Structure 1
Amino acid sequence: MGQSPSTAVTSPEPYHRQIHFSSDDSVGDGARDYTAYIPDECLAMIFHFLTSVDRKRCSSVSKRWLRVDGESRYRLSLNAKAELVNRVPSLFSRFDSVTKLTLRCDRRSMSINDDALILISLRCSNLTRLMLRGCREVTEIGMAGLARNCKNLKKLSCGSCMFGVKGVYTLMEHCNFLEELSIKRLRGVDDGVSTEIVGNGVVSVSSSLKSICLKELVNGRSFEPLIIGSKKLRSLKLIRCLGDWDMMLETMGKLNPGLVEVHLEKVQVSNLGLRGISKCLKLETLHVVKTPNCSDLGISDVAERCKMLKKLHIDGWRSNRIGDDGLIAIARNCPNLLELVLIAMFPTGLGLEAVVSNCPNLERLALCGIGTVGDAEIKYIATKSVALKKLCIKGCPVSNSGIAAFGFGCPNLVKLKVRKCRKVSGEVVQWLREKRGPRIPASAIDENRCQVSQPLAAIVTR
């Protein structure tokens, strides 16, 4: 009817988009470098999402990427060998915005000396965090130069160094903004030096310190004036430091009532020191780990006065001096307790039941190496601990009967870890998964190690 063509019409050829690349800003074969249109600020933001290895690779792409990477690199970790001094000018000409610096040297090598540290401090005037590890050639002279050039320093961590207490106090004299101080295995500590510094009134400049951590010091008591003189101190950690700390803790309790966290581990502290800590009415976290001279009396003093306590870790070291009396005092006076860790103690069901009944907000509980905790105590915890989210049971005489109680109780439990409990077998794993419903995925089960995750993160029997 005249609607069809009389001759065949050839189909049109497929359309091919033609892209023409300019020879400007090319990276090869005429292809345009579209990253050239990305502003330096955006490129630097992209670099922040990359790992250190990827950033090194990106810095070799072009001169621009090399420059942007250097200008936006705020964290730098260097091998602090003696030959580093020759590379300081060129290295920090590229990385001129570093605010967090780590200088680490191994035991077999000679570290940087005072001149190198002072030269680095001149190049990093905006430094806020510094970590020194194994820099044994640095003395108090280098620390004094560092303090004069980096007055905005807020965090210092040093370990296995030789500049001693005098170097630390020298830095404190100039760095008025220092907030965190961590010292580990520092050599050259001397009580006479600290006494001389106190007489000169240097300790008064430590008013900005909020956190002090002393670890593995032969005579850490040289820092007692610094601890006592830090009026804004909120966190104190004493770990494996020799000397009697009772008098210092008692004085600190009178002068620093705003302390929030105290960590005592393998130090010579008795109930007298705990009584001093009890004067810190805002205390929220207390770790009493392997201090055999502490007993229920000291724990009770802390509980009766520190009613804001939220986290309590006790490692009785099998001395059997902290037990039911201390736990009952905690239960009566600390209703806001969120976390409780009991290790190598001998409490009975009386103390545990008091804590579970009187601390309704308890979310995290760990019972490790406690031979007096059996199925009856575990069943009581499963029945009464409604807010409990994480539970760890290690080396306790519990069986499948006690663990099975969590199939009915603790509705908010998201992680259960059972280790070195010989009476607990893998049969309870499958039963718990079926009982608690589809919230436990099948992929979360490891049949070889008897693990369950989400909401019961792990059950391990050995």
Structure 2
Amino acid sequence: MGQSASTAAIPSRDTHRSKSKSTAIISPMDAEGSESSGEITDGPPDYMRDLPDDCLACIFQSLSSGDRKRCSLVCRRWLRIEGQSRHRLSLNAQPDLLPMIPSLFSRFDAVTKLALKCDRRSVSIGDDALIIISLRCRNLTRLKLRACRELTDAGMAAFAKNCRGLKKLSCGSCAFGAKGMNAVLDNCSALEELSVKRLRGIADGAAAEPIGPGAAASSLKTICLKELYNGQCFGPLIIGAKNLRTLKLFRCSGDWDKLFQAVAERVTGMVEIHLERVPVSDFGLAAISNCLDLEILHLVKTLECTNAGLASVAERCKLLRKLHIDGWKTNRIGDEGLVAVAKHCPNLQELVLIGVNPTKSSLEMLASNCQNLERLALCGSDTVGDPEISCIAAKCIALKKLCIKNCPVSDHGMEALATGCPNLVKVKVKKCRGVTCEGAEWLRSSRVSLAVNLDTVEPEHQDASTSDGGVQENGIEFPPVPSQIAAPSIASSSSGRSASFKARLGLFSGRSLVACTLRRWSSGKSSSGSN
């Protein structure tokens, strides 16, 4: 690869002899210096030759993967340094990878983070390939496995014995089972993060072998389980992870109320809990309330959770600062639960309500008591209209970002925002039929520093179940509720070709938005440039 016949044309320094630029043809090997024949070429000085290897490695690490690959073809020195400085590697985990493993990891001998991904329709690598990789990468700290269905418990056990320094393991759609997972937990005592999705080798029902706790239980800080038919077999691991900080459960069946009661007795230091479509009720929430350090709570489509359960968490978890609730239009969580949050959680900074119907009374109490509330999202709420928005505008002094979706809000609500919320920097309005382009434009002109993003749809195309739309604000201030990721997102105003941009041009809207958009451009107040 380094002995390619590519050439480079370099201008001559001898400009006194001729006004035209002469060129000297050199090979990449000559450009390196140490590989040259010793002859002085007619060209400018090669500053890269004098650059230390460590500096060149830092430059490579700041480049994209494609640029790094192209740079590695310049000369032997660059090929060597690029390989030795690469710590991340992602490989197509199909059987033809096996014969290339020795040469690959001879070049990339410093890899600590490895991803092995296979297409779901293809055959993946087997145990032999994984064992060879583990022998070549004993310093591996992170491993991601995707659709590696040919890996067995034996292969995972051998890997775990060779890579005992593993700190993060993520596996999805793999076929090994409890024995392979237990081998990792027994041998990788430094494991801090574990993410498991659709682990097909776990048996259902009473035949399931318990997973954990193992030697890694004391070091684990994050556990994420997704789409497991028998996720409760991880119960011993969760109970034994005394230093666990984050627990995320997505679409995992089982009796989680009973498990949470056992967890609450031993694991009380959790600060973040995500529950999505998990069979948990108020009994489980009462157990969660024993985590007095809890700061982040997501309740997404947990149908058995009511105001009473939310109140029990709010009364004891006074450090709560981020709360996401997707009530799925069940109306089991409403004013009563939100009032409890307002009374007991003064540190609340972010509140996302989807399919929940708060009224002016609960919103007013939240605004009055939660003086640090900076981010608020109201989606699919039938009770949030102009009076509620006016209340938010008058009371939420610290509010910086507001998202309103599929709520009965009109231009009058936009008028209230023109004079309220002094710290407001961004407003997103989507699928609110009462808000017109003229109303949004008036708000922009009234507060020139405010970024207003309006996205409308034709009434006949508006989905009644828009509470599933989620809230996304560049993935930072308003992280999407996990169940909403696949749904159409609210496009950020920072994207020049986003859906909301097209909507403002009238491509997706029943109204003509061209005129007001052109007026906004001509005045130089486009919201797309203010983010």
Q: Same fold (TM over 0.5)?
A: yes
Residue identity matched to 2:302: T
Deviating above 2 A after TM superposition, structure 1's stretches of 4 or more consecutive aligned residues are 15-34, 190-198, 202-205, 437-441, 443-447, 449-457
Which residue matches 1:321?
A: 332
What TM-score do the two structures reach when normalised by structure 2? 0.78
Distance 1:424 1:437, change over 3 A: same
2:165 to 152, 174, 179: 152
Secondary structure in structure 2 of the residue aligned to 1:77: strand
- TM-superposed deviation, 1:219: 1.0
- The question of whether the paired residues in 2 share the 8 Å contact of 1:257 and 1:280 is answered with yes
Cα RMSD after superposing both structures: 2.5
Are 1:137 and 2:194 matched, yes or no?
no
Quote the sequence identity (%). Answer: 57
Give me the whole-angstrom Cα distance separating, in 2, the residues matched to 1:439 and 1:181: 41
Stretch of structure 1 that moved more, 249-258 or 227-236 = 249-258
1:51 to 64, 68, 88: 64
- TM-superposed deviation, 1:21: 9.5
Deviations 1:280-300 (A, max 9, x none): 000000001001100000000
1:388 to 399, 404, 412: 399
Residue identity matched to 1:178: L
Stretch of structure 1 that moved more, 406-415 or 278-287 = 406-415
Secondary structure in structure 2 of the residue aligned to 1:130: strand
- TM-superposed deviation, 1:204: 5.3
- The question of whether the paired residues in 1 share the 8 Å contact of 2:411 and 2:440 is answered with no
Distance 1:196 1:57, change over 3 A: closer
Give me the whole-angstrom Cα distance separating, in 2, the residues matched to 1:26 and 1:289: 62
- The question of whether the paired residues in 1 share the 8 Å contact of 2:178 and 2:209 is answered with no
- The question of whether the paired residues in 2 share the 8 Å contact of 1:130 and 1:155 is answered with yes
- The question of whether the paired residues in 1 share the 8 Å contact of 2:298 and 2:325 is answered with yes
Which residue matches 1:30?
A: 42
Give me the whole-angstrom Cα distance separating, in 2, the residues matched to 1:111 and 1:123: 19
1:118 to 131, 153, 162: 131
Which residue matches 1:448?
A: 505
Residue identity matched to 1:270: S
- The question of whether the paired residues in 1 share the 8 Å contact of 2:355 and 2:381 is answered with yes
Which residue matches 1:225?
A: 236
- The question of whether the paired residues in 2 share the 8 Å contact of 1:166 and 1:193 is answered with no
Residue identity matched to 2:99: N
Distance 1:30 1:377, change over 3 A: same
- The question of whether the paired residues in 1 share the 8 Å contact of 2:195 and 2:224 is answered with yes
Give me the whole-angstrom Cα distance separating, in 1, the residues matched to 2:285 and 2:46: 66
Which residue matches 2:245?
A: 234
Secondary structure in structure 2 of the residue aligned to 1:236: strand
Deviations 1:191-229 (A, max 9, x none): 66765666xxx5354110000000011111111111111
- TM-superposed deviation, 1:124: 0.7
What stretches of structure 1 of length at least 5 have no aligned partner? Answer: 1-14, 458-462
Which residue matches 2:455?
A: none
Give me the whole-angstrom Cα distance separating, in 2, the residues matched to 1:369 and 1:197: 40
- The question of whether the paired residues in 2 share the 8 Å contact of 1:390 and 1:413 is answered with yes
Q: After TM superposition, list the pairs within 5 Å mapping 1:47-446 onto structure 2.
A: 47-190=60-203, 195=209, 203=214, 205-437=216-448, 446=501
Distance 1:57 1:454, change over 3 A: closer
Deviations 1:100-121 (A, max 9, x none): 1000000221101111101001
Deviations 1:296-334 (A, max 9, x none): 000000000000000001111111111111000000000
- The question of whether the paired residues in 1 share the 8 Å contact of 2:424 and 2:450 is answered with no
Give me the whole-angstrom Cα distance separating, in 2, the residues matched to 1:62 and 1:135: 35
Distance 1:329 1:110, change over 3 A: same
- TM-superposed deviation, 1:253: 1.4
Residue identity matched to 1:36: R
Deviations 1:209-251 (A, max 9, x none): 0000000111111111111110100000000111121011111
Deviations 1:53-104 (A, max 9, x none): 1111110100000000000000000000011110000000000000110000
- The question of whether the paired residues in 1 share the 8 Å contact of 2:164 and 2:187 is answered with yes
Stretch of structure 1 that moved more, 204-213 or 59-68 = 204-213
Give me the whole-angstrom Cα distance separating, in 2, the residues matched to 1:143 and 1:92: 19
- The question of whether the paired residues in 2 share the 8 Å contact of 1:415 and 1:456 is answered with no
What stretches of structure 2 of length at least 5 have no aligned partner? Answer: 1-14, 32-39, 453-492, 507-512, 518-525
What TM-score do the two structures reach when normalised by structure 1? 0.90
- TM-superposed deviation, 1:140: 1.0
Give me the whole-angstrom Cα distance separating, in 2, the residues matched to 1:109 and 1:35: 43
- TM-superposed deviation, 1:349: 1.4
Distance 1:278 1:67, change over 3 A: same
Which residue matches 2:474?
A: none
